[in-house]
Structure 1
Amino acid sequence: MNLFANLTTVFNPEVLSRIADYIDEPIEKTSKAVDGLVYTIMGGLMKRTTSEIGVNQLYNHIQKGRYDGGPLDNLVTVLRDPAYTNTLITQGNEVISHLLPAMKSSIGSMISSYAGIRNSSAISLLGLTTTLVLHVLGKQVKDQKLDADGLASALFAERETLVNNVPEEFMPRLVEKVGLQQVVAGLATPARRTTVEASGRTVSTATRPAISYDLTDDSDNDNGALTKWGVGALIAVALAFGGYYLYQNTQKYSNDGQDTTDVASVSSDTIQADTVTRSLAVPKEPVAKTAPKSTSAASASLAPATSATGLASATGTGSLAQQMTPYLGNAALPKGRVFPLTGIAFQPGSLSLTPGSQATVTELATLLKTYPQLQVLLVGYANDAQGDFTNKSLSFKRVNVIKQQLVTSGINFQRIDAIGRGTGVAKNDTSGVPKPTMRKIMLKVVSK
């Protein structure tokens, strides 16, 4: 069974009923919130393990926290004890603060809004769900004797399930809040940890036995070797010149060098920590610079030098540019407008663009380069799925084909979100009103 199947077994109706009683929320809302949190935590951990330090930290938390699946054996009984339940919640919230730093409040708000529960209930559920998810992961580590790399690979094996199972209404919030653009698009992969031995040879730790992976600063070994070499050289110089004065100055230089090494080591650690934090930060919309008002010259300065006609001639057909350029060049018009990408189409049932589609993709890339503040959301619909594809997965993969081409052309992936909505007809639609299925790509302007 895969991880999501195991989690479905853990959060069975009886367990959800006990959790709902504890947080004093309706069972339907509690179930919806837990589902959202499972996707959020699993997606967040996938993103966390795209860095080597993240792989180590997740594995350490599971090992040191003794997440071995113990409470799962009789979870309903465990949840009858309010004191122990509160312990599980506290434990989970502490772990989430380390693994997904500065995201606890934003996740709580997202789940509160999504499931219609109190924010305090969402935070409690976040802690409890995190603990139980880690126990499921820890049990798999124990049963399959996984090392840190094996755990990261097991997580990423669930990416396709995550993409296909996340409810359509929840996917945009999840991607935005947790920053899963690369994970969802299939561009992210689990990091492979490496260790530099004293000889300088780089060895993959994937072949080593599972141990406790405490974070270490490999620069200490290199600095130690350099320090020994430096001391030997300094002593040789001191003996060559044979003077006490020179020897004392040489020792002073050595001490100064050691201080510099210590400072450099601290700086390196700080930079590494900052990099990890930035990689988990929720993407923010760029803040537009305040422009002078009430003057035609000021308004004109907001528009790029390239006109709609000029851009059209540079990109071929120009239809998309002619539609979007007047809108993007006018700062008074609000963001959020939707444009149909009528020039982009796919071969039936496939991920292959039709021959005439490339011109529009290139045109869109030029627009994104011309307007560096522009952020867009690509929304795909499909009704021609074949074989193993569902319409939802086909629509999702198609918009990510476009996104990948834009990223390859030099556009930052954070400026392009992509979601697939299948046929556009909700499965739970009970209105009885016939609705046509769709096959198209839409572009929404998120920021300009």
Structure 2
Amino acid sequence: MNLFANLTNVLNSEVLSRIAAYIDEPFEKTSKAVDGLVYTIVGGLMKRTTSEIGVNQLYNHIQKGRYDGLSLDNLPTVLRDPAQTNTLITQGNDVISHLLPAMKSSIGSMISSYAGIRNSSAISLLGLTTTIVLQVLGKQVKDQKLDADGLATSLFSEREAFVSIVPEEFMPRLVEKVGLHQVVAGLATPARRAVVESPGRTVVTATRPAINYDLGDDSETDNGALTKWGVGALIALALAFGGYYLYQNTQKYSDGTEEATDVTTVTSDTIQADTVTRSLAVPKEQAVKTAPKSTSAISASALSATGLAGAAASGSLTQQLAPYLGNAALPKGRTLPLTGIAFQPGSLSMTPGSQATVNELATLLKTYPQMQVLLVGFANDAPGGVLTNKALSFKRVNTIKQQLVSSGINFMRIDAIGRGTGIAKGDTSRVPKPAMRKIILKVVSK
């Protein structure tokens, strides 16, 4: 489909200059914001088409909105007219409200922060970029005579290019904000409709994909209203129960005889701040006070009780992590190299013996259900061509993540990012730095 190449041709320097003039932002910041929005919209549409509702909605919007790419030929001329530009923005924002419901404000805030532009400018760019993306998709549909299933399949064929092209500093916040964990990890698939032949007619019915996590947009139906009332009632009931629970526990511990326990609630924003704003370079181990022996290590009987005794005897990962995870006095954030996991040169195939360490990590994640981790990949052996070291490192850590998810671990507990060789392209320090090829594990929460 070559979607990104087509979008690059459309969003040339002349078009970007006119867009920058319209929103009154610097050209460089406008270009960065538009790039970020292209990744966001394409990724969001991939996620949307994992449900049959999303597949039909995207296809119907393209057909009913007459997105056929014809207006792209005179796009620079259209952008000279503020009234016509505003029409494109309004049209795009209306579409995004249906295809990615309740996400317009959060996307605007993300792009505003990423590119350093005003939030109002980001919202305007969101509408305009959405219209342009749909025009390019519509041209593909028209030229290739695609139906709804063909559009979804073609869109997902861009996943590999999507993973490779999204900038390293933008990928974590994009994945977190839009919920692209399954898409990036390669676990999501486009929904398809089954064609059933019957005498005299052909009936198209919807079939659910293997993985369906889409939140359907039912705001325009009576059933949607009933669903919202039902959800509201459940939330109210949950709040009432939570209040009663807190009251009971407050009474229980009000005499001060019980020792307070420091419990940190990890929200999605906390995880994002921890995995995005902090440096992903391997940090030095944090110095901690030596805790009493009885709390700083797990005894053999405790290991046996958690089912880790055999793993500790056969693998170093459990020996390193179990005492740390079992000691609440030690802070989160520990990092260590996964020396037991390696890949064949230039490939995504693990070396013999690597699977044992992956299984050991899965066991630890099951034993400590509050643990959340970040996998950081480094690679210096990409075969060249389209596959860069950064893309290869990202694919490798996502291979590990996919195996952990397949073993029963919630994908929300595992973040993954590729750092390529670990040497920044803009490094002007002239200090020699060795290229790395390894996997780092960081404990985000425990």
Shorter-normalised TM range: 0.7 to 0.9
Equivalent residues in 2 for 1:273-422, closer than 5 Å: 299=261, 307=302, 312-315=308-311, 316-331=313-328, 334-386=331-383, 389-422=387-420
Mapped contact 2:196–2:205 kept (Cα < 8 A): no
Structure 2 counterpart of 1:164, which letter? Answer: S
Q: Structure 1 stretch 86-95 or stretch 299-308: which is displaced more?
A: 299-308
* Separation in structure 1 between the aligned mates of residue 421 and residue 133 of structure 2, nearest angstrom: 32
Distance in 2 (CA, whole Å) between partners of 1:9 and 1:274 is 47
Cα 1:295/1:172, change in 2 over 3 Å: farther
Shift of 1:116: 1.1
- What do the CA deviations read for 1:78-110 (whole angstroms, capped 9, x no partner)? 011111111111111111111111111111111
Give per-residue Cα distances to partners, 1:358-394, cap 9 Å, x unaligned: 2221121111111222222211111122265421222
> Does the Cα contact within 8 Å between 1:311 and 1:318 map onto a contact in 2?
no
What's the Cα RMSD here?
3.4
User: CA shift at 1:405, angstroms?
Assistant: 1.6
Instruction: Label 1:269 to 1:147 Cα distance change in 2 as closer, same or farther (>3 A).
Output: farther
8 Å CA contact 2:395–2:418 kept in 1: the answer is yes
Closer, same or farther: CA 24–328 of 1 in aligned 2, 3 Å: farther
Kept in 2: contact 1:311–1:321 (CA 8 A): no
Which residue number in structure 2 is paired with residue 425 of structure 1? 423
Q: Name the larger-Rg structure.
A: 1
Cα distance change on mapping 1:301 and 1:358 into 2, 3 Å: same
Q: Please identify, of 32-41 and 395-404, the stretch whose mean Cα deviation from structure 2 is larger.
A: 395-404
Q: Pick closer, same or farther for the CA change 1:30–1:407 going to 2, 3 Å.
A: same
Partner residue, 1:49: 49
Q: Indicate the structure with greater helix content.
A: 1
302-311 vs 107-116, greater mean Cα deviation: 302-311
After TM superposition, give the deviation of residue 144 of structure 1 in Å.
1.7
Residue identity matched to 1:419: I
Following superposition, the deviation at residue 426 of structure 1 comes to 2.1
- Distance 1:272-1:140 versus aligned 2 partners, 3 A rule: farther
CA change 1:295–1:185 in 2 (3 A) is farther
Question: What secondary structure is seen at the aligned counterpart in 1 of 2:168?
Answer: coil
Shift of 1:446: 3.2
Q: Contact 2:52–2:191 (CA<8 Å) still a contact in 1?
A: yes
Shift of 1:347: 2.5
Q: Does 1:104 align with 2:100?
A: no
Scaled by the length of structure 2, the TM-score of the pair is: 0.75
Task: Determine whether 1:78 maps to 2:59.
Answer: no
Instruction: Describe the SS at the equivalent of 1:355.
Output: coil
TM-score normalized with structure 1 length: 0.75
Per-residue displacement from partner, 1:317-370 (whole Å, max 9, x unpaired)? 443234333443455655444332222222222222223322221121111111
CA, structure 1 residues 181+274, in 2 after alignment: closer, same or farther (shift >3 Å)? farther
Partner of 2:147 in structure 1? 147
Q: CA deviation at 1:421?
A: 1.7
Cα 1:170–1:300, aligned 2, differ >3 Å: closer, same or farther?
closer
Q: Does the 8 Å contact 1:385/1:394 carry over to 2?
A: yes
For the Cα contact (< 8 Å) 1:376–1:446, is it kept in 2? yes
1:117: which partner in 2?
117
Q: What corresponds to 1:223 in structure 2?
A: none
| Cα deviation digits, residues 14-53 of structure 1 (max 9, x gap) | 1101111111111011111111110110011011001111
Aligned to 2:64: 64
Which residue in 2 is equivalent to 1:244?
none
Q: Which residue of 2 aligns with 1:438?
A: 436
For residues 187-231 of structure 1, give each alpha carbon's deviation from its aligned partner in whole angstroms, at most 9, with x where no partner exists.
Answer: 1111102367889x996569xxxxxxxxxxxxxxxxxxxxxxxxx
1:314 is aligned with what amino acid?
Answer: G
- Over 3 Å counting, the alpha-carbon distance change for 1:125 and 1:327 in structure 2 is farther
Secondary structure of the residue aligned to 2:373 is strand
Which residue of structure 2 aligns with residue 19 of structure 1?
19
The verdict on how the C-alpha distance between 1:332 and 1:295 changes in structure 2, with shifts beyond 3 A counting, is farther
Q: 2:426 & 2:71 partners in 1: Cα distance?
A: 35
Identify which range, 150-159 or 391-400, moves more after superposition: 391-400
Distance in 2, matches of 1:427 and 1:311, equals 45
Q: In structure 1, what residue type is equivalent to 2:383?
A: Q
CA pair 193-419 structure 1, distance change in 2 beyond 3 A = same
Q: Give the letter aligned to residue 429 of structure 1.
A: D
Give a deviation string over 1:397-448, Cα, whole Å, max 9, x none.
Answer: 2112211221121112222222212111122333333221111111223333
Higher mean C-alpha displacement, 304-313 vs 189-198 = 304-313
1:225-249 deviations in Å (ceiling 9; x for gaps) = xxxxxxxxxxxxxxxxxxxxxxxxx
> Which segments of 5 or more consecutive residues in structure 2 lack a partner in the other structure?
207-220, 232-245, 265-294
Secondary structure class of the residue paired with 1:351: coil
Task: Report SS of the residue matched to 2:192.
Answer: coil
* Percentage of matched positions with identical amino acids: 77
CA shift in 2, pair 1:118/1:329, >3 Å: farther
Cα separation, partners in 2 of 1:397 and 1:296, compared to 1, 3 Å: farther
Do the aligned partners of 2:156 and 2:190 also contact (CA within 8 Å) in 1?
yes
Aligned mates of 2:397, 2:158 — CA distance in 1: 20
Segment drifting more, 327-336 vs 405-414: 327-336
SS of corresponding position for 1:5: helix
Work out the number of aligned pairs and report it. 376
**Structure 2 residue matching 1:407: 3-state secondary structure:** helix
Going from structure 1 to structure 2, the CA distance change for 1:3 and 1:338 (only over 3 Å counts) comes to same
- Greater shift after overlay, 78-87 or 47-56? 78-87
Aligned partners of 1:53, 1:25: CA distance in 2, in Å? 37
Are residues 156 and 274 of structure 1, via their aligned partners in 2, closer, same or farther at CA, if it must alter by over 3 Å?
farther
